[in-house]
Each structure stands twice: as C-alpha cells, then as structure tokens.
Amino acid sequence: MKRERIRNFCIIAHVDHGKSTLADRLLEFTGTVDPRTMRAQYLDTLELERERGITIKSVPVRMNYRAYDGTEYILNLIDTPGHVDFSYEVSRSLAACEGALLVVDAAQGVEAQTVANAYMAAEQGLELIPVVNKIDLPSAQPEEAKRELEEVIGVDAHEAILASAKEGKGIDEILERIVRDIPVPQGDPEAPLQALIFDSVYDNYRGVICYIRVVNGRLKAGQSIRFMATGRECQAEEIGVFKPGMTPVNELEAGEVGYLAASIKTIHEAQVGDTVTDGVRPAGEALPGYKKIKPVVFCGFYPVVNEDYPQLRDALEKLQLNDSAIQFEPETSSALGFGFRCGFLGLLHMDIARERLMREFNVELVATAPNVVYQIVRTDGEILEANRPSDFPDAGQIEEIREPYIRLTVFVPSEFVGKVMQLCQDKRGIFHSMDYITPERLRLSYILPLAEFIVDFHDKLKSTTRGYASLDYEHVGFRASELVKVDVLVNQEPVDAFSFICHKDAAYHMGQAVVRKLKELIPRQLFEVPIQAAIGKKVIVRQNVKPLRKDVLAKCYGGDITRKRKLLEKQKEGKKKMKQIGRVSIPQEAFLAYLNIGKEEED
Amino acid sequence: MDTLYIGGGTPTFLNPADWESLIEILENGLSFSRGVEVSVEANPDSLNADHMRLWRSWRVKRVSLGIQSFSTEILRWLGRPHDEKQAAEALNHCAENGFSSSGDLIFGIPGQDLRLWHNDLRILSGYVNHLSIYQLTAEPGTPLAGERVASQSEAYPLYRFAQWYLGSRGFLQYEVASFARNESWCRHNLSYWKQGNVLGLGPSAWGYLDGLRYRNVAPLMRYLRREGLPWEWTESLLQEDRAREAAILALRTRWGIRWKTFRRRFGEDISRELGKALSELPPDLFVKRNGRISLSGKGFRLGNSIWERLV
Ligand SMILES: Nc1nc2c(ncn2[C@@H]2O[C@H](COP(=O)(O)OP(=O)(O)OP(=O)(O)O)[C@@H](O)[C@H]2O)c(=O)[nH]1
Ligand SMILES: [Mg+2]
C-alpha cells in the first residue's frame, strides 16, 4: 500500500516568517497533538529555542491526514530553522524530503534566507509550494510578496497559498496541495535496505538515536544492520516514528521517515550522512550522504576547573551528535590549560553551542575570542593554516597573511541603503553590485572579510536598519590582507587566550579596548599588574591595575577566630574559580567579556 | 591564672552587690598568679563611682571603655546611649582611680571624614595608653544591615592616618587593630593570638583548651540549668589546620611567627609550606628579623589577602 500514501516535506523560510507557527496549525488540524498539550511553536522544544524565540534544530514529525477525497495519508513534516548560521541544518533535512513549503511573510516579502533556502531546495530537486503567510497583518501585501517570489526567486507563484498561521487560515488548502503536488517518494521496498541518517541525538538510556529516511528496502525491529561508512554491525533494537514523541513501530519501509536505536554509544559508530543497510543482504553502495561542512569560526572552549576536561570532551561528543556541524579537537593553552579548539558555522552557532553545553550537559566553560582560519605564506614558501593566533609563526617568518572573504548579499529598503554601504565600507568591504527588487527595496552585494563579518555585522545591520534588512553570504576564498597579531601581556606574561588577529590599522584601537576592559575586570592584587598589548616586541598600549591598598580588618578574639578562618577559606574558594595566570587571578568574565569588546566600543 | 577578662558587653549592668558576689565566686573558684592582669569592660553611660571603688579594692588593673567616637552625631547614628561628655568623664574617672584604661574607636561611618577621625584619635590618645580601632561593617542580621558604610578604599585613608598619627604620638601598633604606648599590651588578648588556653565562662562565652575550641549555650536559663558541660558547639582542629591558624593569628601581632618555635610546635613540612606561600608575596608586606617574620605597616593593611594564602 504504503508508498503512494506518503508525503515527505519540510517548511523553509527566512527567519521569523512563521515556519514553526505554521507547523503548529498543521499538527492541530491533523489531530497529531492533543489540544490540551498544544503550545505556541510546539516543535521548538529546546530551552534555548523557547527563550530566544527561534528554531535551532530541525524537527521531524509524522502526521496522519484524511484528504477531502477520503484517502488516508502519512505526512512527514520537518520544521527547519531560518537563521543563516543554521543553513546546514536545513540542507540535511532537505535530503529526507520530496517537497518543501516555501513560506514568505506577506508584510516583509522575500528576504535573503528565502532566496538561499529556496535555491538549496530547488538544487536538491524538491517540489516547492509557495505559501504567503501572515496575511492577517494590516501591513500585509500578499500580491507584492507573490510578485517577489516570481521575480527574485523565479518560482511560479500564481498558485501560491495565502495563509495566516496565526489565525489558521489556508491550512486545509496547504494540506491538500501537499497531497496533490509533492511527489510520491521513489524507492523500492523490495531492494536491499538503504536508509540515510539525517540527524541524531544522544539518549542516556538508549544511546545514540539516528533519525533516518528509508530510501530503499525495509527496516524491521530486531533486524541485523550495518553502518556502511564504519562497517559496524549490530541489531536494530528499536525503530519508530515521531508522533511527535518517539513511538516504536515494527517496520519502516522505503519512503518513510523515523528513528533507529541500536545501543550505539559514540558518534564514530553512526555518523550523520552515513547509510544504514541490511546486515545479511547489504546494498551495493551507500547513498550520497552529505558534504563534510567546513566550520568558519573557531574558538577555544576550556573547562573552568582543569579536572573537568573529560566531562567537557564527553559533552562535546554528545552535542556533536545533535549538531554535526560542530568540530573540535584538543588543544592546550599556556593560560587556560587543556581544552578544545572548536569550529562553528557562525557566531550565533557558537553561542548556542556554548549555552547548550552549559545547560544540557552541565559543564562550566570559558570560551576564548572567536576567529576565522588564516592562511600564512612563510618566507620559505610553505603555506600554513592557522585557526588561532598562537599558530602564527614569528613575524619575521611571515611573507603574507591571507584571510577568508565572503560575498555578502543584503536585502534592504532603499532609505537605508546609504547606511548599509557605510557599514560595509567600515568593515573593509568592497562593493560588488546593487539592484532593485522593487522600487522600495534593493539587493546589495559586497565582498567582505569574514573576520569583520563575524564580530558583530549582523547586530550592526539590524540596528542601522531597524531590523528591515536581511542578509545571506557565501564563501569566496582567501585573499591577502595587512593583518597583525596582537599579543596581550598580563604582568609581563603573554596570555595566549587573549591574543587576537586584526587589520593593522585597527590594532591600536582594539588593543586599547582590550586592555581597558581587562583593567576593569582583573581585581586588584597585592602588587601592581601591568596589562599590555604588543605587536611582536613592540608594546602599543599599557595600563596598570593598581595594587590593593587595604582590606577588611575586623577584630579577632575568642570565637571570632573560627569565623575569621571560615571567611578566609571562603575567600580562597572564590579565587579558585578564577584562572591563575602566573601570579595573577583572572575571573572568568574576563575571558567572556572579551567577546563583546568590539560591540561595546562603538555603543 | 595569668589574665582575667570580664567582658561580654556591659559588666557595669551588675549592681555593686552583684559585683561583690561575683568577686567572691571568682576568688573561691580560681587561683590567681601574682601580677595577674584583670580587665573589665565598661560602657561610658553605665559606669559609676561604686563600680570604681569595688574594682580598685579588688584586683582590677585595666578598664576597657567602649568609647566608639567623640562625635555626638556619630554616636547617635550608631545608636549608642552615651554622648561625648560621658565618654570624657568615664575616662577621667578611670584615670583618677588609677586604672590603666583602654578605648575602642570605630571608623568607616558615613559622614566621618578625616577631620572627625583625627579628633577622635587626638582626644582618646590623650587619655589612654592602649586603644583599638575597628572598621564598621554592615553585617547581615544586625541593625546596620544594608546601611551604606565606607568601602575598603574609602576606609584606607582613615586606617592609614591612624597608623601614622598614633605612631607619632608614641603608640606602637602591636596588632592589626591594637595600639599601645609604653608596652601596655593587653596580655589577655595576646593569649588569643598565641593560641593559648582560655577558659570561657558564662552564657555564649568562647573558650579554647589544648586545641579544642567551644562555645557555651547562649540563653542564660539554659546555661544555668545545664548539667555537665554547657557547651553548645565545639571544634577540634587537625594538627595541620591548627598550624595554619596559629600562623595567621601570630601574623596579627607585631611579633609575628618565630620560625624556630613554630617548627618545633608543628613540624618541618607545614612550616616550609607556609614559609614558601609567604615568600611568594611582595617583600614590602613583611618585616623579617632575627628568625621572625611579621607584617609591616602595609602588611597590616592587607592582612586578609595575606592570610588567605595560608588557609
Ligand atoms: N500576525 C501573524 N504573526 C505570525 C504568523 N505566523 C507567525 N507569526 C509570528 O511570527 C513570529 C515568528 O514565528 P515563528 O513561527 O517562530 O517563525 P519561524 O519561521 O519558525 O522562526 P525561526 O524558526 O526562528 O526561523 C512569532 O511571533 C509568531 O507568533 C501569522 O500568520 N500572523
Ligand atoms: Mg521556527
């Protein structure tokens, strides 16, 4: 029976255009979620998603739908995130679907991620169903949105569905169109099993749980299976579907989306992108899988207490299961001890990873300032990759430093175009192109150093355009730049965690900001502590943390003695939470606040 | 019994008849050495001629007065029942009766500038050979909780001034908070800082006996009815912790730690560890002489940060 009655689709859109809210209505309409347990953005289950009101993880759900003609369908929906940092999350979900609802906010029109996600889906051969959402808004311009869909993206929008996820308008039409327009999944249930792992999550009881799309063959509970990339064989202990909670079933057949648990303990055994096949009758080849994604932003994560290093590693491994775009490898810092150099797809991605490690895995960590990967051409002609300042050789051995550039696309109302161009120029951007989408809106494109982009470009863009601009970017390779490495010395000792790379014209200004910030954050010690910023041997900025002059001196007779001792012990405990650099205790905030320096500077 | 200190707030609450029975109890129960130092604590407002007479005819040598300040506003702000006239009278009475008196002063009170503080130090140092200065803190659970009192950096000039001013008037700072002229140290307090044995009597009194520290129960009735020992709390430190505490206490005083004695008492290892911890700090915090280490004037100002290295 089955395959003809299955439709697999995802919801894609620019950030905040209403994907998760639309998913809510679909869940309600199909009776998938009990109305009593319904809440807004039902599928945003991570604490962080709820707090920040954004989707971070793609979430699959299976719905049963009885169409107008009375036929029963199984609809597998995947709600995806809209933020540019999470586009890898979207791309993986696309591989599990035959179609996508392309949602556009009727008041905002086509934005940068609408374009990026639509192209990504079209490239993978997905059928697109355009949905113009939020038509209930007074400022909605559905006809305008449709025109933009046609002109900017090139989809046929005359059949676009007008909807309001908020008021539940257009939901029935969307469901009917899914059934009508989205292709039946291809695949042969009788062929050897091939199932794509498109995501995974760690569960304390069942180990790694793989989210799979069965492409060919069947997967039965208890069946022996093989992971094709690793060759590991085991038994499918539990298979099931998302309703939206994990619900065991006996069999998943070609075309279906579900999960698989097989007492897998580590990520190395079951990688996202791998193919699961039958242990007895394996498929000839694996599915194409995913391109390994390259992180673009790096920073160091260090446990606050050195002994927690194994916990941090464990937590990173488990988080990586649920966020395969994260990469990490061990590194040591003379200032911070043992930790990990971690790679991310953007600053928001990095921030979310840090928060998730702390909340979901209870590890306390310190994060160093983020940076991009640099290419260094040495005087002897060799090319090095440096993904942190301490990888830089001595200035004398450097012939040329190259940094990654991006092509940035900004969608912006014409009234703000001057400001956005100014911002791009301040960030060392090179003008590329500009064209009108509508008489009031432009698409502006710049070539920009990634390093300048990651610091705070997004926030700045939002504030200069009052939130009316959107952006997307792609990598365009390395280019030579006049960069310098600035070291920061605390009490004459260079603190590697504080070193940074910047354009030579910004070195003084940035050094000044960093030194000032550290001076504020490092508590007074018993001796004067000089803080310096230096390029090579040349000190460019210096300030001193004045020594402590007096502390509390209470009287001390009889029972005061015990009280006093306890106070001193507590005082000492407090210091233990700080990082000891030579003779100086530096509070954790110093390492974190560092990240915000660029931002605060111009506020 | 080398020293006896009758304190705990206001022994002047007792009327002369009570005092007579107290003296009788003490005389019967304790054996006093020759040259015993007996001190009593008194508040300027409740001290009277009868007390003086009784004390003089007994063994009392020192009277410790809770002066706090000579400024009416400050005394009122602190909620003290006396005024500056009563304070001066009390000091005069003590002198007339031949007691060696001592006074306490408080600094770090809002509105107390260097001029007012100078005045307090000037007046008190004209009367006494021994005085203690305390910084006001707004401890939670006390009436001052939440009050804005001077911060450490605001209090610095006041403390620094006291060190200098009292020094110029012949006082030696012999402990973090204590100053004395003509070697009139309070021997009783010194025994705390030497980790000496102290028998604490009375409700909520503290005592220390060969490594065991205790506190008596606080409510008077429970103290009186208690059979056996009236201890409500005790602690007994391990040898190593006792050594750390001994070092911290010794560093409160100008005599500091005498390494030879310290090693004999606590052993080589811990002595070396503590010596090393101190040697990592800036040298101008210490005075090192004749096998001793003690805090310099600057060291006294930074005691907490130094002792922290020893716990
Ligand atoms: N007025 C109106 N508001 C809507 C509608 N749909 C969604 N919203 C609101 O738009 C905001 C964003 O909605 P979400 O569903 O979280 O958007 P999203 O596309 O899932 O966002 P990301 O997952 O972070 O990309 C929320 O405040 C919704 O309440 C609609 O049809 N009308
Ligand atoms: Mg969402």
Task: Give the model confidence (pLDDT) of B178-189 as tens digits.
Answer: 999 999 999 999
Query: In 3D, which of A255, A390, A279, A414 has the Cα closest to residue A336?
Result: A390
Return d(Cα A294, Cα A272) in angstroms, integer: 15
Percent of chain B with pLDDT over 70: 100
pLDDT of residue B150: 83
How far is C-alpha A115 from the chain's CA centre? 19
A-chain residues near B274 (CB < 8 A): none
User: Is residue A579 scored above 80 in pLDDT?
Assistant: no
Count the residues in chain B. Answer: 311
What is the number of the ligand closest to the CA of A103? 1
pLDDT of residue A573: 84
A552 and B177 within 8 Å at the Cβ level: the answer is no
List of residues 6+ apart from B222 with CB closer than 8 A: B203
pLDDT of residue A594: 60
Strand order in the sheet with A365-367: A327-333, A337-344, A297-303, A365-367
A105 CA → ligand 2 middle, Å: 13
Condensed to tens digits (0 to 9), the pLDDT of residues B234-277 reads 999 899 999 999 999 999 999 999 999 999 999 999 999 999 99
pLDDT of residue A396: 84
Mean pLDDT over residues B127-150, rounded? 86
The residue among A500 and B283 whose pLDDT is bigger is B283
Strand order in the sheet with B292-295: B257-258, B292-295, B286-289
Residues A385, A391, A397, A402, Cα dihedral to 10°:
40
Question: Which three-class secondary structure state does DSSP give residue A129?
Answer: strand
User: Is residue A1 scored above 80 in pLDDT?
Assistant: no
* Range in A169-173, A480-484, B7-11 the model is least confident about: B7-11
Rg (CA), chain A: 27
Query: SS3 letters for A433-462?
Result: EEEEEECCEEEEEEEEEHHHHHHHHHHHHH
Residue A429, both tokens:
């951007």
Q: What is the mean pLDDT of chain B?
A: 92
Q: At what angle do helices B239-250 and A560-576 cross, to 10 degrees?
A: 100
A–B: how many Cβ contacts below 8 A? 89
Condensed to tens digits (0 to 9), the pLDDT of residues A15-32 reads 999 999 999 999 999 999
Name the residue of A12, A15, A19, A21 to mutate for ligand 1: max ligand atoms within 8 A of Cβ.
Answer: A21
List of residues 6+ apart from B93 with CB closer than 8 A: B47, B49, B52
Return d(Cα A300, Cα A9) in angstroms, integer: 37
Nearest CA in chain A to B177: A555
Residue ranges of domains in chain A, CATH in brackets = 3-181 (3.40.50.300), 194-278 (2.40.30.10), 297-369 (3.30.70.870), 375-481 (3.30.70.240), 484-600 (3.30.70.2570)
Helix locations, chain B, DSSP H: 16-29, 49-57, 72-78, 84-96, 114-127, 152-168, 187-193, 220-225, 239-250, 259-266, 268-279, 297-301, 303-307
A597, A513 Cβ separation under 8 angstroms: yes
Return d(Cα A281, Cα A218) in angstroms, integer: 11
The residue among B9 and A474 whose pLDDT is bigger is A474
B11, B196 Cβ separation under 8 angstroms: no
pLDDT of residue A107: 94
Condensed to tens digits (0 to 9), the pLDDT of residues A439-456 reads 888 999 999 999 999 878
Q: Hey, is the C-beta of A528 within 8 angstroms of any chain B C-beta?
A: no
Mean pLDDT over residues A513-527, rounded? 90
Q: Hey, is the C-beta of B246 within 8 angstroms of any chain A C-beta?
A: no
A526 and B177 within 8 Å at the Cβ level: the answer is no
pLDDT of residue A598: 47
Condensed to tens digits (0 to 9), the pLDDT of residues A232-243 reads 899 999 999 999
Condensed to tens digits (0 to 9), the pLDDT of residues B38-61 reads 999 998 988 888 889 999 999 999
Ramachandran class of B255: left when φ > 0, alpha when ψ lies in -120 to 50, beta otherwise: alpha
DSSP-derived letter for residue A150 is I
pLDDT of residue A333: 81
**Domain residue ranges of chain B, discontinuous segments joined by +:** 3-192, 194-236, 239-310
User: Is residue A319 scored above 80 in pLDDT?
Assistant: yes
Residue A595 — pLDDT band, cuts 50, 70, 90?
A: low
User: Is residue A602 scored above 60 in pLDDT?
Assistant: no
Mean pLDDT over residues A259-282, rounded? 89
- Residue A239 is which amino acid? I
Residue A596 — pLDDT band, cuts 50, 70, 90?
A: low
DSSP-derived letter for residue A200 is E
A12, A100 Cβ separation under 8 angstroms: yes
What's the ipTM? 0.88
* Range in A180-184, A557-561, A575-579, B231-235 the model is least confident about: A575-579
A22 CA → ligand 1 middle, Å: 8
Helix (H) or strand (E) holding A411: strand A398-413
In order of A129, A184, A253, the CA distances from A180 in angstroms are 11, 10, 21
Question: Which three-class secondary structure state does DSSP give residue A376?
Answer: strand
Q: Hey, is the C-beta of A568 within 8 angstroms of any chain B C-beta?
A: yes
Name the residue of A14, A15, A20, A49 to mutate for ligand 1: max ligand atoms within 8 A of Cβ.
Answer: A20
**Measuring from each residue's beta carbon to the nearest atom of ligand 1, which residues come in under 6 Å?**
A 13, 15-21, 41, 54-55, 81-82, 133-134, 136-137, 164-166
Residue A290 — pLDDT band, cuts 50, 70, 90?
A: confident
> Cα–Cα–Cα angle for A141, A144, A145, nearest 5°?
85
User: Is residue A248 scored above 90 in pLDDT?
Assistant: yes
Residue B168 — pLDDT band, cuts 50, 70, 90?
A: very high
* Range in A84-88, B33-37, B138-142, B194-198 the model is least confident about: B138-142
Q: Hey, is the C-beta of B300 within 8 angstroms of any chain A C-beta?
A: yes
pLDDT of residue A600: 44
| Residue in B152, B215, B282 closest to A526 by CB | B282
pLDDT of residue A218: 95
Residue A592 — pLDDT band, cuts 50, 70, 90?
A: low
Is 3.20.20.140 the CATH classification of the domain at B3-192? Answer: no
Residue B290 — pLDDT band, cuts 50, 70, 90?
A: very high
pLDDT of residue A551: 84
Percent of chain A with pLDDT over 70: 98
Tell me whether domains B3-192 and B239-310 share a fold: no
A206, A238 Cβ separation under 8 angstroms: yes
pLDDT of residue A264: 86
Q: What is the mean pLDDT of chain A?
A: 90
Class of domain B239-310 (CATH, top level): mainly alpha
* Range in A346-350, A525-529, B138-142, B216-220 the model is least confident about: B138-142
Q: Mutation target for B interface from A525, A526, A529, A563: give the one with most B CBs within 10 A.
A: A526
Q: Hey, is the C-beta of B302 within 8 angstroms of any chain A C-beta?
A: yes
User: Is residue B171 scored above 50 in pLDDT?
Assistant: yes
Query: In 3D, which of A495, A430, A505, A419 has the Cα closest to residue A464?
Result: A419
On the question of a cis peptide bond just before residue A244, with omega within 30 degrees of 0, the verdict is yes
In order of A157, B64, B139, the CA distances from A144 in angstroms are 11, 90, 67
Which residue, by CA, sits nearest to atom 13 of ligand 1? A18
- Residue A353 is which amino acid? A
Query: In 3D, which of A214, A210, A224 has the Cα closest to residue A264?
Result: A210
Return d(Cα A522, Cα A587) in angstroms, integer: 7
Query: In 3D, which of A112, A109, A15 has the Cα closest to residue A406?
Result: A112
B-chain residues near A527 (CB < 8 A): 282
Residue A168 — pLDDT band, cuts 50, 70, 90?
A: very high
A414 CA → ligand 1 middle, Å: 25
B6, B63 Cβ separation under 8 angstroms: no
Query: In 3D, which of A364, A384, A367 has the Cα closest to residue A375?
Result: A384
Residue B89 — pLDDT band, cuts 50, 70, 90?
A: very high
